[in-house]
Amino acid sequence: TDCTQIKTLSPNAPSGVYVIQPAGVKTPFKVYCEMLPDGGWTVFQRRSGGAVSFNKKWNAYKNGFGKLKEDHWLGLKKVFALTKKTTKNWTLRVDLWDHEGGTALAEYNNFRLGDERTAFKLQVGEYRGNAGDAIRGAYPGIDQNGFGFSTFDRDNDGCNPCLFGDILQKDCASSEGGGWWFSKCGSASLNGDWHPSGDHLGWASGVHWLTWKGPAPYSAKASRMMINSDVEGYERIPKARASGLDRVATVELLVQTYGKKGAFTVTVEILKKMNFRQLAQDLQQKCCEGAGNQANEAESDDNATGQETKFTVKEEFHVYKEVDEGETVYRDALYIQHSLTKAACGCLTEEYELTQTKLKSVTTEKNFKDVSKPECNGERLVTFVKKNATPAKDRDESLKMKDLLGYRGLILALLVCFSDQKRFKKVSSGTDCTQIKTLSPNAPSGVYVIQPAGVKTPFKVYCEMLPDGGWTVFQRRSGGAVSFNKKWNAYKNGFGKLKDDHWLGLKKVFALTKKTTKNWTLRVDLWDHEGGTALAEYKNFRLGDERTAFKLQVGEYRGNAGDAIRGAYPGIDQNGFGFSTIDRDNDGCNPCLFGDILEKDCASSEGGGWWYSKCGSASLNGDWHPSGDHIGWASGVHWLTWKGPAPYSAKASRMMIKSV
């Protein structure tokens, strides 16, 4: 139905052109699927040059134009067909490239288009990314969310005339050079005239995302707009997918052959090899509509906590008599209730409760409330399945429900009797968060247990699961609750709570990055007290061992926060320096000069440990302050190439790494 489903069913499918058929659409159509680690994305806009004109009329934007492998517009009609199903949630992703080699990203959840009667009205939800929320606008009154699409022959932009600087224009589409969801005219317009360099003539014309490159008229080099859907129900469980269907099909085949000689022994041997939890989860997804999302959350939670868990089973065997062709046959009605069933939807519970009345009506020798556990006797279970797994079409209509209960009950009964119920030990989910994200693209952010190569004892980390991969967080600051003014051993081993403010530990970061066959990227996220954010990324991140004082190594910088590690001015490059704390000084100055104040060492003045270099422009572990301005030149959460050189202390920071 869309690229997300294709990626889910075929995780190794490459990017390329595919044929899809969304629900309710009679004629399939082709799309370009961008297969990323976080799922399959359906591309509906691509710009990379001026070969394809986007200055088109309404019908062209409605039906689409261009070649799918090159610059193109998929068509508003097709995007509406994809997103109209309200039971699916869609994410819009906008990728941007400038002429200097930089990139930016904007994502919006709850994306949807209205039909043609609404002029394909745009709907977007919450924004995230580093390009800025240009759809809602760089200033008030130009929010494009909720506006219809405009072209130069159909105007829905909300202004007539439209003012660009000191120039009046009839409509936005004519000025921009392409169609869009204009709103007087707004800060976003990726279908405007393409220019060979960032600077271009005219206030309006261009490929614009003014919260990224603005308010000066900068035209992006390239753009891409694409959407993916939240995987629903059964498909969402990473372990299940196609293999889950295979497991259920295997059991279904076993049930059908149960009456044959020797089939019971074969069945038991096969079931012994199956994972009780996994198969039960597979069955739940087939049984319970909408259970997949909750089941996935339960599974992810187990991965995240890394705690010992047991597949909790409650067994109630109600034994009763039934006369069948003159022969008394004991049959066991099984009700198994466990945490997953309850969390998912309780469909087995409902069926069992409805069946209780039927069972009670034929009870002759035992009170229905009596509970006994039958022996795991092959002959009795064979009788049980023969009576309960007969296809419903060959039996009285009233017995269909019993068929359902008997079928699932049999499988679970056999698993209870013959499969090992293993305790889930505290084992690693992967070598790092990047690997976890790669293996389970829908894994949520949270605490996971990892075991890097060469490390004997697994340890917990917080994984930030972003669209570009799984990031291992090793520093988080958001307030003053956790003091970062610690000694060497605290910084070496770590402190704080992983879900809150914390420092993972230099020893663990070294263990992660010491393998030279892996390249690591360091990402620094910053938040100020006024609602602004900034980003700094460094390639080839690595720490030395303790003998080098966990020496810092970073490569090429990119971002909008400035390269504070190398410093706001010469002579204070922290790259290549060891870590310093209040009880271990490696900062390269004694005494250290702050303005006109001499201090013994940087860590004492800043209020926290860091890779200081006389002392440098970066220090995210210093004293936390409730506002940006603070007393003293040194103390604070600093990134002086972003907020400096005046002493500004950031509101929050996060440092995390990802392997490439």
- The string of pLDDT tens digits covering residues 356-374 is 333 333 222 333 233 233 3
Q: In this structure, are residues 157 and 148 in contact, taking their beta carbons and an 8 Å threshold? A: no
pLDDT at position 400:
35
Q: Which of 90-104, 188-202, 393-407, 644-658 has the highest mean pLDDT?
A: 90-104
Taking the C-alpha atoms of residue 611 and residue 580, their distance in angstroms, rounded to an integer, is: 6
Q: Which of 418, 446, 476 is the last residue of a domain?
A: 418
How far is it, in rounded angstroms, from Cα 548 to Cα 506?
Answer: 12
Look at 603 and 310; give whichever has higher pLDDT.
603
Residue 528 sits in the same domain as residue 631:
yes
Whether the CB-CB separation of 408 and 269 falls below 8 Å is answered with no
Do 488 and 396 reside in the same domain of the chain? no
Mean pLDDT, residues 373-387 taken together: 41
Phi first, then psi: what are they for 453, rounded to 5°?
Answer: -55, 130
621 belongs to a structural domain: yes
- Residue 28 within a domain: yes
Greater pLDDT, 298 or 510: 510
Residues 54-93 pLDDT 10s: 999 999 999 999 999 999 999 999 999 999 987 788 999 9
180: DSSP letter: B
pLDDT of the residue at 238: 39
Clarify whether residues 494 and 397 are in a common domain: no
Please give the single-letter amino acid code of residue 240.
A
> Please, what is the average pLDDT of the chain?
73
3-class SS at 381? Answer: helix
pLDDT at residue 94 tops 60: yes
440 compared with 506, residue with greater pLDDT = 506
Looking at the fold, whether 142 and 267 belong to one and the same domain comes out as no
The pLDDT confidence band at residue 386, using thresholds 50, 70 and 90, is very low
Provide the pLDDT for residue 625. 87
Residue 12 lies in a domain: yes
Contact 140, 131 (CB under 8 A): no
Distance between alpha carbon 401 and the CA centroid of its chain, in Å? Answer: 39
Question: Please, which contacts does 623-626 make with residues 24 or more away whose CB atoms are closer than 8 Å?
Answer: 623/484, 623/485, 623/649, 624/477, 624/479, 624/480, 624/484, 624/649, 625/480, 625/649, 626/480
pLDDT of residue 237: 38
Q: Which of 207-211, 248-252, 434-438, 486-490 has the highest mean pLDDT?
A: 486-490
In the predicted model, is pLDDT for residue 31 greater than 90? yes
At 443, is the pLDDT very low, low, confident or very high (cuts 50, 70, 90)?
confident
Tell me the percentage of the chain whose pLDDT exceeds 70: 65
What's the pLDDT at 161? 74
Residue type, 514: K
Same domain, 335 and 455: no
- Let me know: does 334 contact 293? Beta carbons within 8 Å: no
Half-sphere exposure of 308 (CA within 13 A, CB side): 4
Does residue 635 lie within any of the structural domains?
yes
pLDDT at 293: 35
Backbone angles phi, psi at 604, to 5 degrees: -65, -40
Check residue 295 and give its pLDDT: 34
The verdict on 516 and 581 lying in the same domain is yes
- Residue 157 has what pLDDT? 83
- Residue 86 in any domain: the answer is yes
Nearest CA to 482 among 499, 464, 500?
500
Please check whether residue 423 lies inside any domain of the structure: no
CA 272, CA 418: separation in Å to the nearest integer?
6
What CATH number does the domain containing 136 carry? Answer: 3.90.215.10
* Count of domains for the chain: 3
**Higher pLDDT among residues 406 and 470, named by residue:** 470
Last residue of a domain, one of 365, 392, 418: 418
d(CA 68, CA 17): 7
Domain that holds residue 650: 433-659
Q: Are residues 224 and 246 in the same domain?
A: no
Q: What is the largest CA-CA distance in the chain?
A: 105
The reply to whether 176 and 266 lie within a common domain is no
418, 441, 467 - which closes a domain: 418
| pLDDT over 50 (residue 633) | yes
Task: With cut-offs at 50, 70 and 90, classify the pLDDT of residue 260.
Answer: very low
Residues 273 and 348 occupy one common structural domain? yes
Both 414 and 463 in one domain: the answer is no
Q: How confident is the model over 640-660, as a mean pLDDT?
A: 88
Quick one: 250 and 389 in the same domain? yes
In angstroms, rounded to a whole number, what is the distance separating the alpha carbons of residues 135 and 142?
Answer: 8
| Stretch among 2-6, 268-272, 321-325, 515-519 having the lowest mean pLDDT | 321-325
Instruction: Quote the pLDDT of residue 637.
Output: 92
Do 94 and 238 fall into the same domain? no
